[in-house]
Amino acid sequence: MTRAKNSIRESLGDKVFMAIVYITLTIALLIVLLPLVYIVSASLSSPSAVTSGKVWLWPVEFSLDGYKATFKNSRILTGYTNSFIYTLFGTLISVTLTILIAYPLSRKSFYGRNVLMIFIVFTMIFNGGLIPTYLVVQNLGMIDTRWAMILPQAIAVWQVIIARTFFQTSISDDLVEASEMDGCSDIQFIWSIVIPLSKPIIAVLVLMYAVFQWNAYFDALIYLKSADLHPLQLVLRDIIILNTSGGGQMEASEMLKQQELSNLMKYCLIVVASLPVLIIYPFVQKHFVKGVMIGSLKG
Amino acid sequence: MKLEMYSTALKQQKRKVSIRSNLNKAFKRHWQLYLLVIPPVLYFLIFKYIPMANAVIAFKDYNVVQGIWGSEWAGLKYFKLFFENPSFWPLVKNTLVLSLYTLLVGFPIPIILALLLNEIRQGIFKRSVQMVTYAPYFISTVVIVSMLTLILSPRLGIVNDVLAIFGLESINFLGEPGMFRSVYVWSDVWQHTGYNAIIYIAALAGVNPELYEAAKVDGASRLQKILHIDIPSIMPVMVIILILNVGNIMAIGFEKVYLLQNPLNLATSEIIATYVYKVGLLNANFSFATAVGLFNSVINLILLLSVNTIAKRISNNSLW
């Protein structure tokens, strides 16, 4: 009798608890989602609707004027092209270098791997700082060249750790020994066995480096001077952040239309700049969660 | 048994072989691996270790003509200059307050999200929450700050429209020194909570199911299960993440702070990293900026090492 009573009371308490859990998670979901929905809706509305604050969660007076203007802007197009170039070549170089060091570090027979690991991880906890790094880039003659966007940040130590952990757990010692018996050289082994077996981790590395490159603006800010080398993120900053934080410059009424359009363009620009990343995101979400977990195995 | 004996004997034998012949043997058999690591090692030398050596200009009167090694020694002149600078304390305070605020809010919220997600069954709702909350991690800092600029704008922003509905006065979120920290921290929470929760979700998935069954038999409520099973189970992960966060206290990101900065909110938004950028690259005061940056890095390193030691003592969890 008492037992049954107990279980009913508990389940009631648990029911209330679960209701709180669902409500909290729903609120969290909305808090993350609504700003994104608002930005997209605004970008699809008419210039005057956005400026007069009529847009809430749904496009008002649907129009693509903002996008048309955005894609006519030559600065934005140049930025887009540059960002694609940096992302493509940056990712290629980063992934290659990461595998080149992560695989040897994963092999027990690689003598000196502990020293090498310390050599790498130390750069995570201590660095020379902004100016000393700038001086290196300057001495290499890379200021205001595309190389400055690709090389100084080429390897992320965290990605090396993730890749190394993956190789350690998925390429067994037996496999390595068997290949050695067959007279397979290390490079042959990496090319024909390790890489085909490591597609999931390579996907994670490509994703993480590509997103990092696409989103980067700091190196561009300090190393690039010519506007025609600027990546999209820097163009975005110039147009949106530097313009609005300066304060009001509303002028004559004939300017109003132009101003409304340039205000709308800001919303479109945000969508356009995040689109490549958000389009591939659902497809790679699984891989990337896996990547975080592989990394955490070590931690 | 026999196999074990063989292997211990083998190990002993291996130990006897000197380091030198080990190295020779390794080189002969795996010279290709050593060849492969040359480019990455060069990368670390050039872009990480040479800058560390270059940091010596903090102790020199650096000028372009004489170069890094040719410039005159200046001793601790630039460090003194920084410590006696009227902006020294405000900078340290701004950096610390902003980091501590981020840590205080940003550390527990992902844990709560993970614990809540762990309570509900696998299904569309759970997957949607995860998918949506991870997504902002991929949005760039520039886009986040752009969104803030638009949404929080005093004249056109939607947030002030909402405030107006409730009859509240419009707030200039980005122009008021008192609002800067909250805007920074809470937008950070918005962006990173989902991603930061992943590691705890993974840890919770690894909890032994027998523990839950035992708790069920004992008649424990869900809340009790969270308090007595879930939280103790993810404690090691929590400690590691905490160490990493504390170790980064002084290294709070330049990128977002710099973007959120404007002349109106400088009183709270000027931190060491943005100051280094301004005096160093914009005013070309290389030695002074390097000294400031070095001071920052060293404090950071000391913080990381001490937190790691403390964590090792009290909880047996540490980075190394």
Please write the tens of the pLDDT for every residue from B237-248: 898 888 888 877
Question: How far is it, in rounded angstroms, from Cα B50 to Cα A138?
Answer: 13
| Residue-wise pLDDT tens digits, B81-123 | 999 999 999 999 999 999 999 999 999 999 999 999 999 988 9
Q: Which pLDDT score is estimated for B156?
A: 77
pLDDT at residue A1, as a whole number: 41
User: Residues of B with CB below 8 A from A155's CB?
Assistant: 40, 43-44
Q: Tokens 């040359």 label which residue?
A: B38
Residues of chain A neighbouring B119 (CB-CB closer than 8 A): 18, 21
Q: What is the 3-state secondary structure (H, E, C) of chain A?
A: CHHHHHHHHHHHHHHHHHHHHHHHHHHHHHHHHHHHHHHHHHHCCCHHHHHCCCCCCCCCCCCCHHHHHHHHCHHHHHHHHHHHHHHHHHHHHHHHHHHHHHHHHHCCCCCCHHHHHHHHHHHHHCCCCHHHHHHHHHHCCCCCCCHHHHCCCCCCHHHHHHHHHHHHHHCCHHHHHHHHHCCCCHHHHHHHHHHHHCHHHHHHHHHHHHHHHHHCCHHHHHHCCCHHHCCHHHHHHHHHHHHHCCCCCCCCHHHHHHHHHHHHHHHHHHHHHHHHHHHHHHHHHHHHHHHHHHHHHHC
**Predicted local confidence at residue A299, as pLDDT:** 41
- Is the distance from CB of B95 to CB of B271 less than 8 angstroms? yes
pLDDT at B16 over 80: no
**Rounded Cα gap, residues A298 and B320, in angstroms:** 11
Q: How far is Cα B94 from Cα A240, in angstroms, rounded to an integer?
A: 26
Angle at A25 between CA A21 and CA A29, to 5 degrees: 170
* Confidence at B14, pLDDT banded by 50, 70, 90: low
Rounded CA-CA distance A195/A283 in Å is 21
For residue B140, the chain A residues in CB contact (below 8 A) are 214-217, 233, 273-274, 277
Determine, yes or no, domain membership for B165.
yes
Q: How many whole angstroms separate alpha carbon B45 and alpha carbon B176?
A: 43
Examine residue B39 and state whether it is found in any structural domain, yes or no.
no
Rounded Cα–Cα distance for residues B213 and B207 (Å): 12
pLDDT at A245: 34
Q: Is residue B282 part of a domain?
A: yes
B200 occurs within a structural domain: yes
Place of tokens 């909880």: B315
From the list A174, A161, A170, the residue with the least C-alpha distance to A194 is: A170
Question: Which CATH number fits the domain A67-299, given the four candidates 3.10.180.10, 1.10.3720.10, 3.30.70.270, 1.20.1440.120?
Answer: 1.10.3720.10
Residues 71-90, chain A: which have Cβ within 8 Å of B?
A: none
Chain A window 133-192: which residues touch B at a Cβ cutoff of 8 Å? 133-136, 140, 151-152, 154-155, 185-187, 190
For residue range B153-179, what is the model confidence (pLDDT) as tens digits? Answer: 887 788 888 888 888 888 889 888 999
Give the range of the structural domain holding residue B88, as residue numbers without chain letter. 77-315
The Cα of B63 is separated from the nearest Cα of chain A by a number of Å equal to: 12
Q: What is the pLDDT of residue B2?
A: 57
Task: State residue A251's pLDDT score.
Answer: 47
Q: Is residue B46 part of a domain?
A: no
Q: Contacts of residue A269 in chain B, CB cutoff 8 Å?
A: 146
Q: Is the pLDDT of residue B1 over 70?
A: no
Alpha-carbon Rg for chain A, nearest whole angstrom, is: 26
Lookup: tokens for B251: 């290294």
If we measure between CA atoms, which residue out of A171, A209, A173 comes closest to residue A192? A171
- List all residues of chain B from 201 to 240 with a beta carbon under 8 Å from chain A: 202-203, 219, 221-223, 237, 240
The rounded distance, in Å, linking the Cα atoms of A243 and B174 is 13
B129-143 pLDDT, tens digit each: 999 999 999 999 999
Domains held by chain B: number? 1
From first to last of its 299 residues, what are the pLDDT tens digits of chain A?
Answer: 444 444 545 578 888 999 999 999 999 999 999 999 999 999 999 888 888 778 888 888 888 888 988 888 888 999 999 999 999 999 999 999 999 999 999 988 888 889 999 999 999 888 888 999 999 999 999 999 999 999 999 999 989 988 998 898 888 888 888 888 888 888 889 998 899 988 888 988 998 899 999 999 999 999 999 989 999 999 999 888 887 433 344 445 556 777 888 888 889 999 999 988 888 787 777 777 776 666 655 44
pLDDT (0 to 100) of residue B44: 97
Print the SS3 string covering A19-85.
Answer: HHHHHHHHHHHHHHHHHHHHHHHHHCCCHHHHHCCCCCCCCCCCCCHHHHHHHHCHHHHHHHHHHHH
**Rounded CA separation B71/A61 (Å):** 65
Q: What is the pLDDT of residues B249-258, one digit of tens each?
A: 777 778 899 9
Asked if B93 has any chain A CB less than 8 Å from its own CB, the reply is no
Partner B contacted by A39 (CB < 8 A)? yes
DSSP states of chain B: -HHHHHHHHHHHHHHHS-HHHHHHHHHHHHHHHHHHTHHHHHHHIIIIIHHHHHGGGGGEE--TTTHHHHSEE-TTHHHHHHHTSTTHHHHHHHHHHHHHHHHHHHTHHHHHHHHHHHHSPSSHHHHHHHHHHHGGGGS-HHHHHHHHHHHT-TTT-HHHHHHHHTTPPP--TTT-HHHHHHHHHHHHHHHHHHHHHHHHHHHHHTS-HHHHHHHHHTT--HHHHIIIIIHHHHHHHHHHHHHHHHHTGGG--HHHHHHH--TTTHHHH--HHHHHHIIIIIS--HHHHHHHHHHHHHHHHHHHHHHHHHHHHHHS----
B180 vs B263: CA distance, rounded Å:
12
Q: What is the pLDDT of residue B253?
A: 75
Does residue B290 fall inside a structural domain?
yes
Please indicate whether residue A97 or residue B1 has the higher confidence score (pLDDT).
A97
Residues 103-132 of A with CB under 8 A from B: 103-104, 107, 109-112, 116, 119-120, 123, 125-132
Give the pLDDT score at A39. Answer: 92
CATH of the domain at B275: 1.10.3720.10
Residues of B (7-66) whose Cβ lies below 8 Å from A: 22-23, 25-27, 29-30, 32-34, 36-37, 39-41, 43-44, 46-55, 57
